[in-house]
Structure 1
Amino acid sequence: MKTTLLRAGLGLALALPAAAFAADVPQSFTATYNVLQGGSPLGNATLTLKPAGNGQFEYTNTSKGTAGLAAALGANSSEVSRFAWAGKVPQAVSYKLDQQTFKSKTRVLTVAGNTATVVDNGSKTYTYAAPAGMVERNTLPLALGVALSGGAKEATFPVGVKQSVETQSFKVAANEKVTVPAGTFQATRVDRTDQDRGFSAWYVPAKYPVPVKLAQKDGGDLTLELVKFEGK
């Protein structure tokens, strides 16, 4: 089961040190979601942000299949990111994916200086230049939420993927009422604009740094709906 749906990058101001924005970026939280596929329950997911020392943060996304084939296969995944706030961008330090279904998958990304190294499934290795402000797929919900809380109406930024850096873009499309287990919200809908992948995410920027709802056709018609948020 794949629950990390946001794959984008955000090119925002990077010149100011992270400390300058300490009051403007989240420091720790836990958010839980129901995961649906085609409108039917599939599992649950938990996002956790916490300080990791030395000016870095750890951002974890764990998911577990609890219904249907996902439960039968014991599907689960863990994504763990380390990053440092570069201005208001969670600039990548490392990323690790461990996904278990009928076929396991692993991926490890590390950034050293201006170079990103990716080891895929423990065998294939790729290297490429890592630009300033590069994020990776796991931290994108957070990166986009922080951008929206700062008043951004659109965002384009670099994302480190398996073999290269992708430039991905999002734009505020509408304000819509959304009802999820956590409540009913007047939310900002953001669509991906650089590719037609049927992606939308609904944010309440003044309240949460992550989406209250997220839907994407690419990857299995998946939807995440916020159940509970704790933190700041």
Structure 2
Amino acid sequence: MIAELLARELSSARWGPKAARLSQAALHGVPVPQGLCLDSAAGPAALDQHRPALAHWLTATRPPAVIVRSSATAEDGAEVSAAGRFLTVRDVRPHLADVLDALQRVSTSQERAGGGCVIVQQQLHAELMGVTFSRPDGSLLTEGSPAAAAVTDGAAPAFTMNSTRESFSLHGELTTVPPVLLALYLDRLVRRLAEIFPFPLDLEWATVAGQVFLLQVRPVTASIEPAA
């Protein structure tokens, strides 16, 4: 089975929590990069059947680059995130053979995950990438870096920001987006997502020309230090 990531609300049990939450957020007006979800429950050997649909999607959307990501049913849960357990392949050329190869690799990493899908998604030409965590008191903890050394890939953050609706404090270097605007945009994003998801939020995001795109949303599964 195949589903457009942004076309309808996807089932977490069928497509995995990552794809399901991104589809929900998109339907509520949150910017999410376009993508195609390919069923991986039958294993890597069955992915070749998706070749015609994948070729059509690549031709229709013409992404400059593709990222291939896991959305296994065993990841991004309320108790354990399983972050890093499943493969993500970045900077994939938008050629059918290259994307199919990345699909096989990601699906192989899911073989004991119990179902879900692989997401073939437009990779943004971002200037900034980061993670944001919501705290019980309404404040946010954000870590970010230029996309070339993305904190979402485990790199050390170029900056850390604590923010509330009224103020923010910045530690480190942030030059690509004005800090006051980033704090405002992330506050709006978190408040919008809090209307959709009833849990403390762990977000991955990227900015393109100052606009914030949601890359992932899941529950916070570790304690967050209180705001200073």
TM over 0.5: no
- Structure ranking higher in strand proportion: 1
- TM-score band, normalised by shorter chain: 0.3 to 0.5
Normalised by the length of structure 2, the TM-score is 0.32
Normalised by the length of structure 1, the TM-score is 0.32
- Structure ranking higher in helix proportion: 2
